A and B are shown apart, each in its own frame.
Chain A
Amino acid sequence: MSISNIFTIYKREMKKYFNTPIAYIILIIFLIVSGYFFSYGQSGLFAYGQADMRIVFQVLHIIFVIFIPAISMGLIAEEKSNGTLQLLVTMPIHDFEIIMGKYLAAFSLIAIYLLLTLRYPIILDSYGNLDWGPTIGGYIGLLLVGAAYLAIGMFASSISKNQVVAFILGVILCFSFQMTHALPELFQGEGVLGEIGLGSMITNVLVLLLASALVVFFIHFVSHISIKKSITLVVIALVVMAGILALAKFFPAIFVYIGVNNHFQNIARGVLDTKDIIYYFSLIALFIYLGTFSLTSRKWK
């Protein structure tokens, strides 16, 4: 591994971001959305009337689910679709160096975007008494969540040739990590599956069966997979879902740990715990590894 190779790729990606309109378009959308939630909205500055960034952070960390895959979708899929990947990987450079160069460039872009939102706490501080602890914590949390989603989005981009597919896959994966912590809540107290009567149970099962049948036919007609195979696919999906739900009922702590949200809330409170930081770094390392693996896996095709 050589740092200079990573830096070469990094420079090239950064130049590309600022030579093409895409980075600016995403930046404008990002600033409009974050600006809206900072000043207006249900809990914006004017309605809420407090020098507090917490709600802006909450909103941003949910927007990241869509925003980060939009940045990462082209990282590898684009090079695949126009063939330049073949050029790149036949040069004397390791796949991991390509991935790292691209990852760090996209991360810098996210950091620059976040830097531009620093004016919100500065405005707040000049009018009220801003608590800088949670504010700095919030920014660190956002950087970590962004870095994790970026690794996930880049992995999605390395699987597909098509940027739109990479984007959708990235959003689905990020959304899953965003919502995992909420799964056990379905079973608690008045949750959807908390206390369920026999009558509604039967209706639910019927609805589920009907939906499954529809999905089977959909798969069959859209992708020309045989009925038998589509049924198997749907049954496997149902069993996996049931397994996940069962896990969520009996071991809720796992889901709270796997989800991004709980760790973010800890950091955003201003508590920097190594436990949360280790969580983010392992998530990033896992998906960077998967991305490199998927890039190298052309070798088995």
Chain B
Amino acid sequence: MIRIRDLTKLYDHKKALDSISFDVNNGEILGFLGPNGAGKTTTMKIITCYMPPTSGIVEVDELNIFEHPMEIRKKIGYLPETNPLYTDMYVLDYLKFVADIRNIPRDKQKERIDYVIETCGLADELTKDIGALSQGYRQRVGLAQTLIHNPEILILDEPTLGLDPNQIMEITDLIKQIGKEKTVMVSTHILPWVQANCDRMVIIDNGKIVADGTFDELRSNYPKPDEIDLERIFHDLTIQRRRKEQAVPDMEPTDIDEKEEFSSQTQNENNVSGGESK
């Protein structure tokens, strides 16, 4: 399982992640949702040991990312955002290359490669250049790469990016099938699929967690929960909230009051702290 506590990441003083905490439990499919730029990719990059956090604790199966990065990388299969691939390689060569880097013993390589070829439906594309594949097949190659070492945990960053509706269905079906045996953390914008297939969902907005729970838990706050779908919840938690926050400066009376209160408060605090130090 993945355990995240008070995770903060600063990019040049801008907070990409602001003290977030959540878990990914063993065997579940976790939908990791949020608007673009909310911090989904950053979180995933930190879990996969691509870059370290500014502060906070991240543990994968009780291994800390700072102390055991190599062990953690072995446990995780990672599909980065935009699915980068070596476009000059043949599909089969690429899978062999990944199997080599993953240190899969020679005698087991064939078995593993055959397995991912079958699971991801790549049998007819093996001798093609990856660069010549359609977007849907590229995504399958990306998924095959994450599965080759039979990892316990899969981290998939927008696996449906750039696909047409048919391809989206193929890939999401594949993820569902894989998710029966593995722990999967997937970020996507296909909310109906998440609603139907994910055991839990975490919604992140502006570097903060705004929701964490099963779909039923998330909608239980509404007066008529049965009429609510995940898209509504997502909008309410991300757009509505931001509109409210942005709307504050326009409401002049409350704004002035708040400001005055705030400045008098800080003045008092300053006085107090000044007195104490003297």
Contact = CB atoms under 8 A, between A and B. Distances in A.
Interface stretch (A14-22, A116-124, A179-187, A189-197): A14-22
A95 to B, nearest CB: 11
Given A90-B50, A92-B70, A8 B100 contact: yes
B88 A20 contact: yes
Nearest to A87: B84
Interface stretch (A78-86, A129-137, A232-240, A241-249): A78-86
Contacts of A15: 89, 93
Contacts of B80: 83, 86-87, 90
B82 interface: yes
Interface string B42-75: 0001001111100000000000000000100110
A12 B98 CA distance: 10
Interface residues of B, number: 28
Contact of A84 (B45, B78, B86): B86
B97 interface: yes
B49 A90 contact: yes
B101 A92 contact: yes
A16 B86 CA distance: 10
Contacts of B52: 299
A301 interface: yes
A16 B88 CA distance: 7
A12 B97 contact: yes
Nearest to B47: A90
* Most chain A CB atoms below 10 A, which of B45, B74, B84, B85: B84
Interface in B65-119: 70, 73-74, 76, 78, 80, 82, 84-89, 93, 97-98, 100-103
A46 B108 CA distance: 61
A91 B74 CA distance: 7
Contact of B85 (A5, A16, A19, A84): A84
A286 interface: no
A93 interface: yes
B64 to A, nearest CB: 15
A92 B70 CA distance: 5
A298 interface: yes
Nearest to B145: A87
Nearest to B82: A83
Which of B11, B52, B98, B103 neighbours the largest number of chain A CB atoms within 10 Å of its CB? B103
B73 A92 contact: yes
A92 B74 contact: yes
A8 B97 contact: yes
A76 to B, nearest CB: 14
B51 A298 contact: yes
Nearest to B78: A90
Contacts of A9: 101
A4 B100 CA distance: 8
Given A8-B97, A8-B101, A90 B84 contact: no
A9 B82 CA distance: 23
A92 B102 contact: yes
A90 B73 contact: yes
Given A8-B97, A8-B100, 6 more contacts: A11-B100, A12-B86, A16-B89, A82-B84, A90-B50, A92-B103
14 contacts: A4-B100, A8-B97, A82-B84, A82-B87, A83-B84, A84-B85, A86-B84, A87-B84, A87-B145, A90-B48, A91-B101, A92-B103, A298-B51, A301-B11
Which 8 interchain pairs have the tightest Cβ spacing? A83-B84, A8-B100, A92-B73, A84-B84, A90-B48, A86-B80, A91-B101, A92-B74
